[in-house]
A and B are shown apart, each in its own frame.
Chain A
Amino acid sequence: MSLSSLTKPWQPMSYGFLDASAKREIRRKMLKAVAVPGCQMPYASREVPMARGWGTGGLQVSLTLINPKTCVKVIDQGADDSVNAASIRRFLAQVSGAPTTLDTLKANLIQSRHRIPEEKLTAHQTLVLQVPNPEPLRSVQPNMSIARQMHGDADYGRMWLQLYEQIVRSGRVMQGASYPAMVNGRHVMTPSPIPRWDVPKLHMAQHLTILSAGREKRIYAVPPHTRVEPLVFDDVPYRVEDHGDLTCHRSGARGFFMNEIPLPDGSAAHEISDSEYGVKTIRTRDGEAVETGDTWYINGLIEDAT
């Protein structure tokens, strides 16, 4: 055995920015995360050239999965063109040479902050969600060690108590984003701050979802065809946002998750939150031939996957 056989040739930079040992560690944790759906697996969370809390968790997962053939799409709150999404997309392309796209149908790897695209994802796509706070129990148990014990015991009574208190105080469940969901009937996870509208898209989906929190150093996953059931009471059904009958003021499309745009007279206009899907609906209205995929919601209603 010689010294040169134990080392690798010098490179100016590792492919995909992360060094090989960081990638191996994330790979091992991703496998464990997939094996126990919804269970938070600790990982090291390396430094990336971006401040913690701006999507570093998702970025590290994307950098591990990426290769020159991966077509990447990055979304920030539905938009492909926000500063955060554009800079992450540019960074991923710069360090990997991977092609980028805005079209959900063409992407293999979709890194997203706080939204899931309106068009259905398929088995060859992977969704990476950026997670600010991976611990669904934090609001009821700030001590991480005790929260971990509660996950170990499947002791989720306080989560229902929290929802019950919201109903007693306000007449309805007030949890807007990060609605806690039971995964595979065992672990409660926070689906990252996606709106309630998006949580049913994870249930029995075709695609693999990986959720990664860079600042909190936790990674968890929802494999395809896995039960993701929002916590509800039998007599208080799960409700998504009432966006089903809102109309997009730019394309005239109805039945999708909308951004609210306040107008000077105090009223509000709405536009489709998934920016690329919004562009597609505008092009379709203008008579262009646009390839639009199947959407999860049809006429504002989601089909029941079960």
Chain B
Amino acid sequence: MQPVPQPTADETRANASFAALLSALSRPGQIQTLPTSGEAGVIEALLDRECRVACADPRLLPQVMQTGALIAEIPQADHVFLGQMTTAAPLNDICIGSDLYPDAGATVVVNATFDNGVRLGLTGPGIDGETTVQIAGLPADFWQLRKQRIRYPMGFDLFLLDGARVMGLPRSTTLEVL
């Protein structure tokens, strides 16, 4: 009888973070909970030396660099951490992949606040009919720019973070400001 392997603390955290991220992205609009607050869980679960990361929030840089990921400008980055956004302009530069390789479209992580602010109607894969969410803390033209940039299947995938809470908005989600 072999001993039963035990996950390390890192492994448990990364596994739980990814479970929350996968669940959030496959059910847009539903809020999931990460094991840790902020971007740390996302960085730990997804990033390593194969990634190019753009990081607007300098407080995240030490952890990102520890993963071995290459620090890049936004147009070259496959993971973009925009922190608390004051202007939606960075969305203009985010890589949206190509029709041949939609997976080259970036994963974008942004801080926001849930349950107040703009009301959004979401439809698309992962949503049973239509769902309504409320999101605050993003620049006014954020949703307009997202709509302009996404040319499905090209586009970027958003994770909105409010503390340890996370909401996923994949490029397949159609969004209407109510």
Contact = CB atoms under 8 A, between A and B. Distances in A.
Interface of A: 5-6, 8-9, 11, 13-16, 20-21, 23-25, 27-37, 39, 41-42, 64-68, 94-97, 123, 148-149, 152-153, 184, 186-187, 208, 221, 223-227
Majority SS at the chain B contact face = loop
Nearest to B50: A25
A36 B5 contact: no
19 contacts: A9-B8, A20-B10, A21-B48, A25-B48, A27-B45, A31-B107, A31-B157, A34-B22, A34-B26, A35-B170, A36-B153, A36-B170, A37-B125, A41-B103, A67-B15, A149-B100, A153-B99, A221-B26, A223-B26
A123 B170 CA distance: 18
Interface in B16-67: 16, 18-19, 21-22, 25-27, 45-51, 66
B22 A31 contact: yes
Contact of A223 (B50, B51, B126): B126
B139 interface: no
User: Which 6 A-B residue pairs are closest in the complex by CB-CB distance?
Assistant: A152-B99, A35-B170, A97-B4, A226-B125, A32-B103, A15-B7
B126 A186 contact: no
A39 B14 contact: no
Contacts of A8: 8, 10
B117 interface: no
Listed residue (A28, A65, A224) with the most chain B CB atoms within 10 angstroms of its CB: A28
Given A15-B8, A35-B155, A224-B126, 9 more contacts: A6-B66, A24-B47, A32-B107, A33-B103, A65-B22, A152-B100, A153-B99, A184-B172, A186-B152
Contacts, number: 133
A225 B126 contact: yes
Interface of B: 2, 4-8, 10-12, 14-16, 18-19, 21-22, 25-27, 45-51, 66, 98-100, 102-103, 105, 107, 124-128, 152-153, 155, 157, 170-172
Contacts of A224: 26-27, 125-126, 128
B31 to A, nearest CB: 14
A20 B26 contact: no
Contacts of A184: 124-125, 172
B6 A35 contact: no
B103 A29 contact: yes
Contacts of B100: 148-149, 152
Q: Which of A9, A27, A41, A186 has the most CB of B within 10 A?
A: A27
Contacts of A5: 66
B46 A28 contact: yes
B27 to A, nearest CB: 6
B5 A24 contact: no
Given A24-B47, A36-B103, A149-B100, A97 B126 contact: no
B4 A186 contact: no
